[in-house]
Amino acid sequence: MSNNREDRSFSPSDHPPRRVLGIGMALHEETLIDHRFGRIINANIAECHMPVNADVHDIRVIFVGEADDSNPLGVKGVGEIGIVGVAAAIANAVYHATGKRVRDLPITLDKLRSETAGREHADVQ
């Protein structure tokens, strides 16, 4: 995204779908592996649950009009940045609400009810 108004006009409409994908990553998407054969069991899009309008309400995107002098054109990247922090933010919100840290996505009730949920790894200081 540059400081030029025409160049950033698409970004506000481009980010909400990325946020929705981040919500799906945090709460729905799971890769199941058959450990006998090392294959992914659910390797098709038909079994992938995607959040819909009922799952996601109003999403507002606000850009900070700050100059970026790190490159000669003043360009800021907006690509995958919309999806990166969403799952971590949801995991932190769940932790603050429940006191249990889930480190394996998706975050499910089974994982929150688990006896091991919230325990820190022994090798983490």
Active site residues: 80
Give phi and psi for 20, each to the nearest 5. Answer: -60, -40
Whether the CB-CB separation of 103 and 120 falls below 8 Å is answered with no
Distance separating alpha carbons of residues 22 and 9, to the nearest angstrom? 22
Whether the CB-CB separation of 112 and 94 falls below 8 Å is answered with yes
